[in-house]
Structure 1
Amino acid sequence: MTTGSTSESWSPPPDAGYLAHVLARMIAWEPLDMDVLLDDVADALDEVPVAAKDVPPLADRLVAHLNRLGAIAIAAKIDEHDEDVARTISHGARLRAVALPDEPDLAHGHLRRIGWAVSELADQLVKMRCLKGPA
């Protein structure tokens, strides 16, 4: 008598190198902190520009936020269903591809564009219920 159930064939567990890679990624993982993200966006978009020495680290943090938000949207396949999200992700990729200019006014302008992209993508993901908004 057969029950009609099917069983999966056995496959060996992943090798030690792969497991070490997964463990390292899990240890390095940091949860998304919307308060930090919004503080960075506010700094980038403030009417008073950040000090020139603070532009590169702020730009790096904004790019990291943009990468993380893009990964969340892609993992949830939101970019496949929402043209605006796909457009914002594409715009963010173009911004990330441009090096931060050396000239302070141009660097601040680039920083503001990245800040707007982060803000826009975060808003879109909150609206699509992929993220919780700030508390």
Structure 2
Amino acid sequence: MTSIQEFMTQHHKQCDDLLVDAEGAIAANDWTEFALGWNAFEKETLHHFELEEQVLFPEFEAQTGMVGGPTNVMRQEHSQIRAMFEQMQQAIAEQNQERAIGVIESTMLFIQQHNMKEEQILYPMSDNRLNNGEELVARMKSQS
């Protein structure tokens, strides 16, 4: 049995690894590799947000009654990260290395803080409070 925390934390790590790969390409000023790497990171991170926003968060809210709590904060942070992704797409289009590195640093820091909240608060709460955690993990795996 895989817990929500185990599954989602592992997915965080997969996204983090993609970001590290992209960071190496921008350091080498290889825009082709960087764009490919960043786009892979962005796509997988947005997929992660979809799993949370379409599967986990609605179930958490339905079973706990907490609709203005941690899931609301996570959605707001997802929105902020999406804005960073838009900034990066502009940096890529302009091939502005300084801007790209700045966006990477901001994104990395923000996502680390965001993931920590999920991994230390939301996912453990989900595992403890939801009566269908295994089914939710199976649903999320089927969408991966």
TM-score bin (small chain):
0.5 to 0.7
Cα deviation for residue 67 of structure 1 reads: 0.2
Amino acid in the other structure paired with 1:51: A
Larger relative contact order (CA 8 Å, sep ≥ 6)? 2
Unaligned runs of 5+ in 1: 1-31
1:93 aligns with 2:82: yes
TM-score (norm 2): 0.51
Count of equivalent residues: 100
> What's 2:15 paired with?
37
State the distance in 2 between where 1:84 and 1:45 align. 27
Identity of aligned residues (%): 7
Larger radius of gyration: 1
Note the C-alpha offset of 1:122.
3.1
Deviations 1:17-62 (A, max 9, x none): xxxxxxxxxxxxxxx744432323445678xx63221422232122
User: Match of 1:114, as an amino acid?
Assistant: T
Equivalents in 1 of 2:12, 2:98: separation in Å? 28
1:67 pairs with 2:41? no
Letter of the structure 1 residue corresponding to residue 40 of structure 2:
R
Matches within 5 A, 1:1-135: 33-43=11-21, 50-53=27-30, 54-75=33-54, 76-77=56-57, 80=67, 81-82=69-70, 83-98=72-87, 99-101=89-91, 102-127=95-120, 128-129=122-123
TM-score by length of 1: 0.53
From the superposition, tell whether residues 86 and 94 of structure 1 become closer, same or farther in structure 2 (CA, over 3 Å). same
Aligned-pair RMSD on alpha carbons?
Answer: 3.5
Distance 1:36 1:70, change over 3 A: closer
Contact 2:23 2:34 in 1 (8 A): no
The structure where helix makes up a greater share of residues is 2
Structure 2: stretches of 5+ with no match in the other structure: 1-9, 62-66, 128-144
Partners of 1:93 and 1:119 lie apart in 2 by: 15
